Structure 1
Amino acid sequence: MQTLAVDHPLVAHKLTVLREEQTDSPTFRRLADELVTLLAYEATREVRIESCDIRTPVAPTTGVRLAAPKPLVVPILRAGLGMLDGLMRLLPTAEVGFLGMVRNEETLQATTYAERLPADLSGRQCYLLDPMLATGGTLAAAIDFLVRRGADHITAICLLAAPEGIAALEEKVSHLQVPINIVTAAIDERLNEKGYIVPGLGDAGDRLYGVAG
């Protein structure tokens, strides 16, 4: 597993505003969208391409296009939805699946409650979207789910990651024989006793969409 914290001044700037307690939901959604687009440039560095012949207004030439099968983008509900448009801006021809997972706040274990994905992901590159890599349980469960369906290359894009979550995730997916990449805007200090990233930015889902009772 490879982890990349993107070192760019615009990434740092947008993340700083996201962290601010007074940033309202509309601003948070817009900045999260912009931040994901910046992260996506690094996350898609290994996207599969193939050569193709084209003709410009001047002469024939050879270019590249995304290879088949198309990449699959998988936001983890609900907070991952706030990251979807930012990635699709760069991969408009990708397909989209959905994975609903919830973390038990007492045990910190993730369970799947809904999914809308192809039954066979053989040969597919998958891009998982989850704002927070905290304990690593949710991402580990999602990655395992996709690999069991045949995905052979997985990149997870996260706004923030905790060192404990990265270490736990690496241990949980070490048995999987597929490339796994994590791309994040920052690796924070630690987790607190409730499993939240410190300093973090709070609950990403609530900050994106408000508190749904």
Structure 2
Amino acid sequence: MSEAKNLFVVDGPLSRHKLAVLRDERTPTTDFRQAMRELALIMVAEATRRMPTRPERIRTPLVETEVEQISGPVCLVPVLRAGLGMLDGALALLPRATVGFMGLRRDEETALPVEYYVNLPRNLEDYLVLVLDPMLATGGSLSATIDKLKEEGAAWISCLHAVAAEPGVERVTREHPDVNFYAAAVDPELDERSFIVPGLGDAGDRLYGTL
């Protein structure tokens, strides 16, 4: 497994249980969707541990005290379409977050990611950005997504994945050492179609019943 300092494996009994549901080929679409949402809750809770905070003076019903709040607005960026499966869970914990979208497809001739839809907030440099992408396979699309976010001004970025493959992890942690990556599991390899093994299949198809 990669020893990159910017990779964090979210490995606890609850995350392992949710991941087991996602991996099981017998899991129906409704249960798969729910497990992905619940795993996103766990992932966001972990990723926000490293968000910068700022002190603020407030008054409780009894006394004035100092508290800490997340230091800036948050932007959630699901990578279409599978990333949408993590969005509701993320919004449950960060209901005031802005939502941007990144859509990429693979060029069959060059095998390179091509943008087909991008909708991001203005002044992205002001936001703490969480990228939602259940499957980190080769790392090509994710690296392109991060490049675009940085191009638009994002300075603080973390990426959340249900499952990551070792080859993709090695690539993105090397190309973006200033970005933190969170995965519920890191699987060892990709097959000839670049599917993660053992993985959980095509997350988008399983989320939306398009098998």
What TM-score, normalized by structure 1, do the two folds share?
Answer: 0.91
1:59 aligned onto 2:63: yes
The answer (yes or no) to whether the contact 2:135–2:164 under 8 Å persists in 1 is: yes
Q: CA RMSD in A?
A: 1.6
Q: How many residues align?
A: 207
Instruction: Report matched runs for 1:135-146 at 5 Å.
Output: 135-146=138-149
Counterparts of 1:8 and 1:106, CA distance in 2: 41
* 1:98 corresponding residue in structure 2: 101
* 1:209 corresponding residue in structure 2: 208
The answer (yes or no) to whether the contact 1:122–1:151 under 8 Å persists in 2 is: yes
The answer (yes or no) to whether the contact 1:105–1:194 under 8 Å persists in 2 is: no
Counterparts of 1:106 and 1:21, CA distance in 2: 31
* 1:184 corresponding residue in structure 2: 183
Counterparts of 1:107 and 1:89, CA distance in 2: 39
What TM-score, normalized by structure 2, do the two folds share?
Answer: 0.92
Instruction: Report matched runs for 1:1-213 at 5 Å.
Output: 2-68=6-72, 70-104=73-107, 107-173=110-176, 179-211=178-210
Counterparts of 1:172 and 1:65, CA distance in 2: 31
Identity %: 45
Note the C-alpha offset of 1:107.
4.7
The answer (yes or no) to whether the contact 1:133–1:139 under 8 Å persists in 2 is: yes
Note the C-alpha offset of 1:105.
5.8
Counterparts of 2:16 and 2:124, CA distance in 1: 35
The answer (yes or no) to whether the contact 2:157–2:180 under 8 Å persists in 1 is: yes
Q: What letter corresponds to residue 193 of structure 1 in structure 2?
A: E
Say which SS state the counterpart of residue 122 (structure 1) adopts: helix
Counterparts of 1:150 and 1:15, CA distance in 2: 33
- CA displacement, residues 31-75 of structure 1 (integer Å, 9 cap, x when unaligned): 00001111111111122222111111111111122223x011100
The gaps in structure 1 that reach 5 residues or longer are none
Counterparts of 2:174 and 2:192, CA distance in 1: 21
The gaps in structure 2 that reach 5 residues or longer are none
Note the C-alpha offset of 1:92.
1.5
